[in-house]
Amino acid sequence: MEQLQIRTMAEFAATGEVPEVLFWVGCAGSFDDRAKKITKAFVRILNAAKVKFAILGQEETCTGDPARRAGNEFLFQMQALQNVTVLNGYGVKRIVTACPHCFNTLKNEYPALGGVYEVMHHTQFINALLKEGRIKVEGGDFKGKRITFHDPCYLGRGNNEYEAPREVLLKLDAALVELKRSKQNGLCCGAGGAQMFKEAEPGKREVNVERSEEALAATPNVIAAGCPFCNTMLTDGVKHFNKEGEVVVLDVAELVANAADL
Amino acid sequence: MGIASVIFILLVAAASWLFARNIMRVRRNILLGKDVIINDRRSERWAVMARVALGQSKMVVRPVAGFLHIIVYAGFVIINIEVLEIIIDGIFGTHRVLSFLGGFYDFLIGSFEWLALGVWVACAIFLVRRYIIKLKRFMMKELDGWPRTDATLILCTEIALMSAFLLMNAADVTLQNMGAEHYVEAGAYPISGPLASLLGLSTASSSTLILIERVCWWFHIIGILAFLNYLPYSKHLHILLAFPNTWYSKLGPKTEVANMERVTGEVKSMLDPGIAPPEMAAPRQVAGHEVTDRFGAKDVFDLSWKSLMDAYSCTECGRCTSECPANITGKLLSPRKIMMDTRDRLEEVGRTIDTKGKWEDDGKSLHTRITEEELWACTTCNACTQACPVNIDPVNIIMEMRRYLVMEESRTRPALTSMFNNVENNGAPWAFGPDKRLDWTQQ
């Protein structure tokens, strides 16, 4: 495999170069073993499209999203103000991220704290690269396969982006099957609002089991996700039904990177 | 002026005065909330109100209930044109004063009759959905007691009003056909005509028919005036508040959480010792009581007036709860209950103010009704705000109450405390330090 080309913002600044876009990796993308694969798949796409991108590296810290959702506004603003200082210090204009929670916070909540950027979710960015012809993808392994897309709440309902991930998936020559509850009516995976970091409150079943059951009912070969947390929740849900041998949960970036053999 | 006209005028005046007083009480209660200024993007707001409240766009997402609701809604709005005539007739002792409109009058009365039948049938189906089909969202525990009675009363009243309207017309058209004095031949009676035959009204004496017609006429107008005054005590208030509530909708991205300015000042001074911390906001005078500015919401005073208007706008349809992932999977959280609890607490506070002349702490709060288990079950997925036909935002109340728990009481779930510590110390919600952040590039 070709070595990934990754440079930090500090390295760009040292040479006086300006990157096209900052890739906000996010905590899941940096630390979670499953999500790291998504991060690398997206970097392979960026490399293939010859996108001059930078990451913040060790200067990146949590956006503060889970702290804010869990009611700790102080901690959120500590994180946010520090991140805004770093981002503005580098004169960052455009940001892309593979996490809808980072996406929502950077795009919608940082402006009130002085951080105004053009922020894209990676499915939007990949879609643009495909449309501009900077990368090409044909079905490859996924040709004719049944793929279903689980809308992340913070991308879909939260920010009204339903089409970009679907447009990308359609490029794979796969059969895109919709879940019973999709788009505006999509059912949460159970991780949002800081639930990812705590035990679920007492109930009849786990939210991710409910959602995975619905996804499996669509008899897909692949459940496509656009969020590292949804990915974890759905992967666990598929395992709950002992279907991990038949159905695989992949991020849109992984599907594209695999199909394009990047 | 006859005695009937005098009684009528007094009734209408009394009902209007009582209604105005009750609406002012609701308004006062809503304004117990924190002030927020919502007056941006005005043309967009009018459009949202036209689409969502007037146009019922979110009701029809569920086609059966949506279609039936539109019939009741249209019936309510259009049949009330008839009330205009009733009021003129009532004041001046005339009968069918608008009948000079001729063919157009026939068209109006004919349409009212079809709508009245539609409303009658729709309300009957609504009762069937509640009590025979027993839709899950109408069977939940939070509706036990008054809320369920309230719903039944509303549906039965509408059926009674429509029945009176049609029976009144049935007697009227029979009297018209008999050439009775005072009963001018006017109007079209597509429903009450056949109804009159069905009931065999033509065999009744004219005095009996006049009695039926008059009783129904008075029942109809007294019923409407009583119903008007029932609104401020009922979930049915949504027929009025749906309009302002949608106008004041959150227009930005659903998952955007508004910034807490006061925290920004404090955090900036923590990060830079050169910046002085912001001064404590002066306590607010609310209903003769000092309310200190606190982080998040302990009681209704700490929520914005918009959240309180949300609470009064809720008609307990339960679409939010039926879409809520936490509720679907058996957790305690029900967004509808959050709204009902907020409204009930607000009403409780309002009653205290009414009896004591000012607010006195009663040792209770929103948290007396809404438990931590409910608050911590929310995934902030916004399925509830998406589902609400009048754009109510339960997530905002949940967020404000979480803020109070965490920032004022240091109460949270243990795992969240670990997450806070990790974010604070490592800049990540997990126990990985910044030195590990680039590891993925090497693996």
CATH of the domain at A230: 3.40.50
CATH of the domain at A31: 3.40.50.1860
Radius of gyration for the alpha carbons in chain A, expressed in angstroms and rounded: 18
Give the mean model confidence (pLDDT) for residues A88-106: 98
Q: Do B403 and A61 touch (CB under 8 A)?
A: no
Last residue of a domain, one of A127, A153, A176: A127
Please report the pLDDT score of residue B66 as a whole number.
Answer: 96
* CA-based nearest residue in chain B for residue A185: B383
- A246 lies in the same domain as A141: yes
Please report the pLDDT score of residue B1 as a whole number.
Answer: 62
Chain A interface test: which of B322, B438, B440 (most A C-beta within 10 Å): B440
- Interchain CB contact of B63 with A (< 8 Å): no
> What's the token pair of residue B55?
């146009």
- A245 lies in the same domain as A196: yes
Q: Which residues of chain B have pLDDT under 50?
A: none
Q: What single letter denotes the amino acid at residue B241? A: L
Please report the pLDDT score of residue B90 as a whole number.
Answer: 87
Nearest chain B Cα distance for residue A154, angstroms: 6
Give the mean model confidence (pLDDT) for residues A48-77: 98
Task: Collect all residues with Cβ–Cβ distance below 8 Å to A26 and sequence separation of at least 6.
Answer: A35, A63, A97, A98, A99, A101, A102, A228
Q: Hey, which residues 230-259 in chain B have their CB within 8 Å of chain A? A: 252-259
Please report the pLDDT score of residue B434 as a whole number.
Answer: 93
Residue A212 lies in a domain: yes
The conformation of residue B304, written as its DSSP 8-state character, comes to B
Of A31, A64, A211, nearest to B430 by CB-CB distance is A31
Q: Do B419 and A190 touch (CB under 8 A)?
A: no
pLDDT in tens, B173-203: 999 999 888 888 888 999 999 999 999 998 9
A139, pLDDT greater than 80? no
- A151 lies in the same domain as A78: no
Q: Do A207 and B255 touch (CB under 8 A)?
A: no
* CA-based nearest residue in chain A for residue B443: A36
User: pLDDT-derived band of residue A2, with 50, 70 and 90 as boundaries?
Assistant: low
- A117 lies in the same domain as A150: no
Nearest chain B Cα distance for residue A113, angstroms: 8
Nearest chain A Cα distance for residue B334, angstroms: 12
| φ, ψ dihedrals at A120, nearest 5° | -125, 145
Q: Do A201 and B271 touch (CB under 8 A)?
A: no
- A89 lies in the same domain as A155: no
Count of A-B CB contacts under 8 Å = 209
Nearest chain B Cα distance for residue A79, angstroms: 8
* CA-based nearest residue in chain A for residue B413: A198
pLDDT in tens, B230-247: 999 999 999 999 999 999
- Which bin fits B296, alpha (ψ -120 to 50), beta or left (φ > 0)? left
Indicate the pairing of strand B284-286 with strand B289-291: antiparallel
Q: Hey, which residues 408-437 in chain B have their CB within 8 Å of chain A? A: 412-413, 415-416, 418-420, 423-424, 427-430, 432, 434-437
Residues of chain B with Cβ-Cβ distance to A77 below 8 Å are: 259-260, 263-264, 267
Last residue of a domain, one of A127, A150, A165: A127
- A171 lies in the same domain as A81: no
If one counts the domains in chain A, the total is 2
Enclosing domain of residue A222? 137-259
Q: Return mean pLDDT, chain A.
A: 96
Cα B396–chain centre separation:
17
pLDDT in tens, A109-136: 999 999 999 999 999 999 999 999 999 9
- A69 lies in the same domain as A109: yes
A1, pLDDT greater than 60? no
Residue A132 lies in a domain: no
The model's pTM: 0.96
Please report the pLDDT score of residue B2 as a whole number.
Answer: 82
End-to-end CA distance of chain B: 95
Residues of chain A with Cβ-Cβ distance to B437 below 8 Å are: 25, 30-31, 57-58, 60
- A103 lies in the same domain as A43: yes
* CA-based nearest residue in chain A for residue B378: A193
Give dist(CA B392, CA B305) in Å, integer.
Answer: 13
Task: Collect all residues with Cβ–Cβ distance below 8 Å to A210 and sequence separation of at least 6.
Answer: A187, A190, B325, B328, B329
Residue A3 lies in a domain: no
- A123 lies in the same domain as A146: no
| φ, ψ dihedrals at B434, nearest 5° | -55, -30
Q: Do B419 and A82 touch (CB under 8 A)?
A: no
Indicate the pairing of strand A146-149 with strand A222-225: parallel
Please report the pLDDT score of residue A205 as a whole number.
Answer: 96
Kindly state the helix (H) or strand (E) to which residue B284 belongs, with its residue range: strand B284-286
Residues of chain A with Cβ-Cβ distance to B435 below 8 Å are: 58
